[in-house]
Structure 1
Amino acid sequence: MTAIEEARARYLRHVTVERGLSPNTVAAYRRDLTVYEEFLATRGIADAAGVSAGDVAEFAQWLRSRPGHPLAASSVSRMLSAVKSFHRFLTEEGLVADDVTTTARPPKLPARLPKAISIAQVEALLAATDGDSAQRLRDKALLELMYATGARVSEAVDLNVDDVIEGDVVRLFGKGNKQRIVPLGSYARKALDAYLVRARPVFSVRGTATPALFLGARGARVSRQNAWLIIQGAASRAKLGIEVSPHTLRHSFATHLLEGGADVRVVQELLGHASVATTQIYTLVTADALRDAYAAAHPRARWAPGEREAREAAAMRAGAAAVGR
């Protein structure tokens, strides 16, 4: 094992034990740092002490242009984040003298607004899980819980039965194993009750004893991939005609709360965001709804009689003139 491989192993133990990062995050760091080490090996570097700022900059450039598999800006940014965290750890531990990544800048990412669906589309999605079979009862409970709580798919499938507290709230474990308590709401509570009484016992006898809340057909915990397929199946039956993912329900949860007047700080707590700045992106999604509400309520925001028609006619004349030119 090379010196840099030993340093990586030490870093991964640190983020697992001391920082409490999730297994998925640790696995992503391991993959990204393996690519980084392989790049350094091509340059004859086997020790982190031998890495320069130029090496880090060339690594970022190589990721964007490597033959056969260039990475998008978002992927490059993620991998640079892992590399910067790794080198910062090495500096703090005294394993290297200087952090050579301090000048490394990730590529600028385009603004991407969260994709939410309308309340009517959510209702159609949830209605597509109606049914009395054990599978449909489970699917409805899962989707109702995800929309009611804004849970990430990993948080939902990691739930145990004991995490549903007195039927009214659910205990979620987010990034860094941070715990938060989120209300369930009457629809999700009813769906969970039906699942726990009528469906989960059917699944549980097919496998070994497990505390998992959501079980698959063989009695094991539902996986993230299973949850994705469950949502895809419901979206297909609902004939929504759009791409729906587990995160769509989380985005819709936040957007609908803000549209309903919830304080952004409250939504931040419910989502488990470390910074309110992350939550505030959802306020951009609701800007159209705010403008509509303003236009409907403010006496000076409404069109004067005949004004809308006059402006539309003027726009049409201008368009026709432009075509003529």
Structure 2
Amino acid sequence: MRFLFSWLKRMGYIEESPFAQIKNIRLPQKIVQPYTAEEIGRLLACCDSRFWWGSRNRAMILMLLDTGVRRTELVDLDLADLDLAGQRLRVLHGKGNKQRVVRFGTKAGEAVEDYLERFRGREPGALFLSRYGTRMSSHSVLIFLRRLGRRAGVEKVKVHRFRHT
């Protein structure tokens, strides 16, 4: 409403906005609860690495946990962005379209290596593939995490919580 009346004033339709003296109400920010070690353990336990999707999901969870990348950044990753030896990941299209390099740990590196060696291969293209062999969508990550959370008995499984863990 405030914007509408500001526009009406700017355009000369009204003399003064009735909202001019009213201050915005600041709502308290929601605190994002990080995952507990037990919740992470339960999520990883539900990733059966005998199957390609379990290996991929395990690698994705460990990468999210170590790097704190956003969901869109995760699905935009290409194999060329990965430096396993240096344990670095190049994020090309971050928030504000900024490029940055993030580091990951040994466990995440080993999980990605396992996924690449046993299932994905080393062909150029998207790092994490869908069941159709194409780049995963941001929405498909949301769906897989939701399903994984249900199986693991972990509530509110979202990518953003990994950034706070």
* Matching residue of 1:143: 61
3-state SS, counterpart of residue 156 of structure 2? coil
Q: Per-residue deviation at 1:144?
A: 1.1
3-state SS, counterpart of residue 131 of structure 2? coil
* Matching residue of 1:129: 47
* Matching residue of 1:184: 104
Structure 1 counterpart of 2:17, from 49, 54, 57 = 54
Q: Deviations over 1:64-97 (max 9, x none)?
A: xxxxxxxxxxxxxxxxxxxxxxxxxxxxxxxxxx
**TM-score (norm: length of structure 1):** 0.43
* Aligned counterparts of 1:195 and 1:239: Cα–Cα separation in 2: 25
* Aligned counterparts of 2:117 and 2:22: Cα–Cα separation in 1: 54
* Aligned counterparts of 1:234 and 1:151: Cα–Cα separation in 2: 19
3-state SS, counterpart of residue 182 of structure 1? strand
**Mapped contact 2:46–2:152 kept (Cα < 8 A):** yes
Q: Per-residue deviation at 1:105?
A: 5.6
1:119 aligns with 2:50: no
**Mapped contact 1:126–1:234 kept (Cα < 8 A):** no
Q: Per-residue deviation at 1:130?
A: 2.6
* Aligned counterparts of 1:182 and 1:104: Cα–Cα separation in 2: 44
Instruction: Give the counterpart letter for 2:153 in structure 1.
Output: K
**Mapped contact 2:129–2:135 kept (Cα < 8 A):** yes
* Matching residue of 1:213: 127
* Matching residue of 1:198: 118
Q: Per-residue deviation at 1:166?
A: 3.8
Over 3 Å counting, the alpha-carbon distance change for 1:166 and 1:136 in structure 2 is closer
Structure 1 counterpart of 2:164, from 251, 272, 275 = 251
**TM-score (norm: length of structure 2):** 0.81
Instruction: Give the counterpart letter for 2:147 in structure 1.
Output: G
* Aligned counterparts of 1:144 and 1:124: Cα–Cα separation in 2: 13
**Mapped contact 2:59–2:111 kept (Cα < 8 A):** yes
Which ranges in structure 1 are unaligned for 5 or more consecutive residues? Answer: 1-35, 59-102, 205-209, 253-325
Over 3 Å counting, the alpha-carbon distance change for 1:110 and 1:161 in structure 2 is same
Q: Per-residue deviation at 1:182?
A: 1.4
**Mapped contact 1:130–1:137 kept (Cα < 8 A):** yes
Which ranges in structure 2 are unaligned for 5 or more consecutive residues? Answer: none
Q: Deviations over 1:73-125 (max 9, x none)?
A: xxxxxxxxxxxxxxxxxxxxxxxxxxxxxx89643112321121211211221
Q: Per-residue deviation at 1:131?
A: 2.4
Over 3 Å counting, the alpha-carbon distance change for 1:116 and 1:185 in structure 2 is same
Q: CA RMSD in A?
A: 2.8
Share of identical aligned residues, percent?
A: 29
Q: How does 1:175-324 map to 2 (within 5 A)?
A: 175-201=95-121, 211-240=125-154, 242-252=155-165
* Aligned counterparts of 2:31 and 2:78: Cα–Cα separation in 1: 32
Over 3 Å counting, the alpha-carbon distance change for 1:244 and 1:54 in structure 2 is same
Q: Per-residue deviation at 1:158?
A: 1.0
* Aligned counterparts of 2:24 and 2:106: Cα–Cα separation in 1: 44
**Mapped contact 2:84–2:109 kept (Cα < 8 A):** no
Q: Per-residue deviation at 1:189?
A: 0.2
**Mapped contact 2:34–2:162 kept (Cα < 8 A):** yes
* Aligned counterparts of 2:67 and 2:32: Cα–Cα separation in 1: 17
Over 3 Å counting, the alpha-carbon distance change for 1:50 and 1:148 in structure 2 is same
* Aligned counterparts of 1:196 and 1:115: Cα–Cα separation in 2: 32
3-state SS, counterpart of residue 251 of structure 1? coil
